[in-house]
Structure 1
Amino acid sequence: MSNSLDMEFLSAALITQGEHKFYTLTMPIDVIVRCCSPNPRAEDPQDGFQRSLDVNRAESIASYVRDGGVIPSSIILSAQITSGFEYKSRNKTIGFNPHVSSFLIIDGQHRVYGFRKLMESGFGEKLRIPVVIFTDLTPVQEARIFIDVNTLQRPVPKELLLDIKRLAETENEEEILLDCLFSFFEEEPDSYLFDKLSRFEKKKNKISKVTFYEAFKPLLRSFEVSNVKRLYSMVNAFLKAAHDVVTNGGIAFDDVITKPTVFKIMTAHCKAVISIIAENDPGLTTKISEHKKFLQRSIASNFDNILTAKSYLKEVENLDRRLLRSKMKI
């Protein structure tokens, strides 16, 4: 039996759910580093279930904490026999041996590894992290809890994260412009994409914010846009012209423009069309009729290729080449 003088004691709350008992508490990061270890699958293929450690990810966590970031989610541990784990109900305290093999990390190995990197760098701030400790688990139960934690948790949609970045005021300059452009297409009554966009999640027959950003980033960089409303007006005219050209060819453009590949191809091709119009007369870049004149040459008889394209970049090259050839004949 362990000498109580050598044990670590921390306040904790006992929780019972079904057949399991576990304890919730906060643990200093130096204690976490000293008493917890993962069970990497690569090192123990027979019984291990943890993913191999990603050093870069752990370094990112260390930098994030060092810069003042917070980690409110709990690390989930399983007390091992070597921990000598005990619970004193009278004062609601747990005791354990402060040894590296005392706790198996069920979830949070990269956070723990990040804390270790912090400690090795001389980080001296006394931080405490939420922890959940299970006791008396068999290896099978540990593996099942690991599976539950990593399959039942649903990740936050990327679309929602983009919008939360706006609320948190952590957007970079490019993201601010993209959000402004998205808002124009989302809200303006004359927008061709009105009611075709989804800001917070992926939806059938809608263009998600992630797809929108991916499509418009190259356009922003190519035109070095500072006037987002101007870009909106040019692209909106292009899309309305494309609608007329494609619909006259017997294809419902409204139905296919929300397909991610089609949307990316058309947005990328927009760059070539706007550039040619601007060379002749910048004042015509918002005229639907002017866009139609060039789209008749590039997509009128070739839109089926866009619908079946597997590589949007290759198809954009084909469209741009076709457009430039027709320009040379003028």
Structure 2
Amino acid sequence: MTTLDRIGFSSVSLVRQGDHRFYLLTLPSELLAETCFVIAREEDPIKGFQRELDEKRAREIAAYIDSGLGTIPSAIILSAQPDAELEYESSRKSLSFKPIRKSFLIIDGQHRVYGFMLAKKAFRVPVIIYAGLSRRDETRLFIDINSKQKGVRAELLLDIKKLAEYEKDEEALLREIFDIFMQESSSVLYSKLSPSSKAAGKISRSVFNTALKPLVRVFGEKGQNELYEILNAYFIALMEGVLRRHQQEDLLTNVMFFRAACAFFLIVAPKVKDRFGAIYTVDNFHYFLEQVGGSIKASKLKGTGSAYKPIVDLLEEALKSTFQL
């Protein structure tokens, strides 16, 4: 501390990139909460550029920190404002400023800073402080950070959650079913699945989970192997009774059609149970799906579009049209 109205920190690194310079250091989390601010578009349509604060996300960050296991090593990116009177002493590698309410504009990390404010625990946080930026520079930097950074794919996160021991029971079950479909040569989806990335002509793990999640409520106490047998029998019957009949086998790996097919399972499976008991074989599913294939037009199947519910309606209508007393 140099004077009553200034605060200083040592072990600061000065970095120059192009026309800009910034400083690398760590600051106490409570100090960040006291000296940082954002300008949201909702608050100031002219000068604002930040996104609207998601309080739920900030509270999740606070809970993560207070759990004792939380660690957030990524740096908060700030822009020092003129009133902070930021000063750097190269000989001592120290940085000082006035710790006023609006010393720093948050360029990236507003939810983390708000989470720090809500958290009961305090700790030091890595920060990058830019100096001498205009509002135009700040806005451009915000755009660059949020458009050029590439987030981790949902498929990869799902694929590695087991290693991190972050899986919920539902996620674990869907992962196990997916893995069986991927590994078993008897699987109708064999060689048609991609576990950790998106791939043309294949169903990714995230698409698979999204499609099957509504089915979990009817799974009961059945294990992953029994569920695989039931679902695989359904998909085989769908392939033979509908898709192959109209030479549209590739539709099974179309994202929207696959989601529709899984939703349609909830319509077909009760009919199988009513007629044959809880015996979910290929033949029993085929009894109903063959009727769908005979009633539906090939041209309708091709127009899958960008929504899955109309496809479900189409399949259900084809199933109803075969009813006779």
Any conservation in 1 of the 2:78–2:127 contact (CA below 8 Å)? yes
| Counterpart position of 1:271 | 266
Deviation at 1:46, TM superposition (A): 1.9
Higher mean alpha-carbon deviation, 2-11 vs 13-22, is at: 2-11
Any conservation in 2 of the 1:77–1:103 contact (CA below 8 Å)? yes
Any conservation in 1 of the 2:242–2:289 contact (CA below 8 Å)? no
Of 146, 159, 167, the residue aligned with 2:163 is: 167
TM-score normalised to structure 2 length: 0.89
Deviation at 1:22, TM superposition (A): 0.8
Deviation at 1:284, TM superposition (A): 4.3
Of 150, 155, 161, the residue aligned with 2:151 is: 155
Any conservation in 1 of the 2:295–2:322 contact (CA below 8 Å)? no
Q: Which runs of 5+ in 2 are unaligned?
A: none
**Cα distance in 2 for residues equivalent to 1:248 and 1:133:** 61
| Counterpart position of 1:8 | 7
Give CA-to-partner distance per residue, 1:146-187, whole Å, 9 cap, x none: 111111011211111212222211111111110000001111
Length, aligned pairs only: 321
Deviation at 1:302, TM superposition (A): 1.0
1:26-45 equivalent positions in 2, closer than 5 A: 26-45=26-45
Deviation at 1:212, TM superposition (A): 0.7
1:304-315 equivalent positions in 2, closer than 5 A: 304=298, 305-309=300-304, 312-313=308-309, 315=311
| Counterpart position of 2:87 | 86
| Counterpart position of 1:115 | 116
Give CA-to-partner distance per residue, 1:57-94, whole Å, 9 cap, x none: 32232222222322211110111121121112222211
**Cα distance in 1 for residues equivalent to 2:134 and 2:183:** 56
1:266-305 equivalent positions in 2, closer than 5 A: 266-281=261-276, 284-286=279-281, 288-302=282-296, 304=298, 305=300
Of 241, 246, 249, the residue aligned with 2:242 is: 246
**Cα distance in 1 for residues equivalent to 2:320 and 2:228:** 24
**Cα distance in 2 for residues equivalent to 1:3 and 1:266:** 69
Secondary structure at 1:189 match in 2: coil
| Counterpart position of 2:139 | 143
Aligned in 2, Cα 1:102/1:284: closer, same or farther, shift over 3 Å? closer
1:205 paired to 2:191? no
**Cα distance in 1 for residues equivalent to 2:272 and 2:50:** 57
Aligned in 2, Cα 1:210/1:275: closer, same or farther, shift over 3 Å? same
Of 207, 211, 214, the residue aligned with 1:215 is: 211
Aligned in 2, Cα 1:85/1:106: closer, same or farther, shift over 3 Å? same
Any conservation in 2 of the 1:265–1:306 contact (CA below 8 Å)? no
1:126 paired to 2:127? no
One-letter amino acid of the structure 1 residue matched with residue 30 of structure 2: D
Deviating 4+ runs (over 6 angstroms): none
| Counterpart position of 1:230 | 226
Aligned in 2, Cα 1:110/1:39: closer, same or farther, shift over 3 Å? same
| Counterpart position of 1:316 | 312
Higher mean alpha-carbon deviation, 265-274 vs 301-310, is at: 301-310
State, as a whole percentage, how many aligned pairs show the same letter.
39
Aligned in 2, Cα 1:284/1:112: closer, same or farther, shift over 3 Å? closer
Higher mean alpha-carbon deviation, 129-138 vs 299-308, is at: 299-308
Deviation at 1:54, TM superposition (A): 2.8
**Cα distance in 2 for residues equivalent to 1:4 and 1:60:** 37
Secondary structure at 2:200 match in 1: coil
TM-score normalised to structure 1 length: 0.88
Aligned in 2, Cα 1:193/1:225: closer, same or farther, shift over 3 Å? farther
Deviation at 1:326, TM superposition (A): 4.7
Any conservation in 2 of the 1:234–1:274 contact (CA below 8 Å)? no
Aligned in 2, Cα 1:318/1:190: closer, same or farther, shift over 3 Å? same
Q: CA RMSD in A?
A: 2.4
Aligned in 2, Cα 1:65/1:272: closer, same or farther, shift over 3 Å? same
Higher mean alpha-carbon deviation, 161-170 vs 277-286, is at: 277-286
One-letter amino acid of the structure 2 residue matched with residue 258 of structure 1: T
Secondary structure at 2:295 match in 1: coil
One-letter amino acid of the structure 2 residue matched with residue 195 of structure 1: S
Aligned in 2, Cα 1:52/1:239: closer, same or farther, shift over 3 Å? closer
Give CA-to-partner distance per residue, 1:179-203, whole Å, 9 cap, x none: 0000011111111101111111222
| Counterpart position of 2:23 | 23
